[in-house]
Amino acid sequence: MIFYLCILLSIIIFANALLHLLLFFGAPLGEYVLGGKNKIIPRKLRYINFILFIIFCFAGIVYLQYGNIIQTFMNIKIIFFIILFFTIFFGYGIIGNLKFTSSKKEMYVMTPVSIVSFVLSIILIFLNYI
């Protein structure tokens, strides 16, 4: 079960990484992220999208290793703590998308993505103890 949850969660995370990469290159999808105030992210703020792209790619790789789908240099204990961090990160995403965004698109699209990511990550954490 962990294998399939990790694949599903990695797909969601890599899709989010792709979104941020597209935003970095100027795609008009800015209403879905960072408060939704800009349809096209201004050039001086696009570095944030690139940083988020790197973070989401790293998260996807971590979840793939956690599910024994790929092998990297990281120890499984370190991976577990990284997953705890990303679970909190997804939880913060829920709060941020519900409370701090002025964009309906971000609220109705990215909040469910954050909720699903958070719940799947919590399930993975608990499955580790079963």
* Residue 23: pLDDT over 80: yes
Q: Average pLDDT, stretch 4-27?
A: 96
Q: What is the pLDDT of residues 105-115, one digit of tens each?
A: 889 999 999 99
* Mean of pLDDT over the chain: 92
Taking a C-beta distance cutoff of 8 angstroms, is the pair 32, 103 a contact?
yes
Written as six digits, the tokens of 96 are 């941020």
Taking a C-beta distance cutoff of 8 angstroms, is the pair 62, 86 a contact?
yes
Q: Average pLDDT, stretch 94-123?
A: 91
Q: What is the pLDDT of residues 62-91, one digit of tens each?
A: 999 999 899 888 888 899 999 999 999 999
